[in-house]
Amino acid sequence: MVTFKTDLCKGCGLCVNACPKHIIVLARDVINKKGHNPATVTDQSLCISCAFCATMCPDCVITVER
């Protein structure tokens, strides 16, 4: 399971590119407090908990749990 601190996400997209399952996207319909489109997961059931996304995040806004 992947969770994001959406108010801190700057929408850089590094996690989107790192995800081997391609289930992370930048939300087009949400703008956070910083004025960015935060990352979100399209289908939690497909997450393999590899934590590549969390490793790539420069702001440590991603938490991965098994």
- How does pLDDT run across 23-65, given as a tens digit for each residue? 999 999 999 999 999 999 999 999 999 999 999 999 999 999 9
Q: What are the residues whose beta carbons fall under 8 Å from the beta carbon of 64, sequence distance 6 or more?
A: 1, 2, 47, 49, 50, 51, 53, 54
**Quick check: pTM over 0.75?**
yes
Among residues 10, 5, 4, the alpha carbon closest in space to that of 23 is found at: 4
Task: Say which CATH number the domain at 14 has.
Answer: 3.30.70.20
Q: How many domains does the chain have?
A: 1
Confidence class of residue 66 from pLDDT cuts 50, 70 and 90?
Answer: confident
Range of the domain at 42: 2-64
Asked if 40 and 15 count as a contact pair (C-beta separation under 8 A), the reply is: no
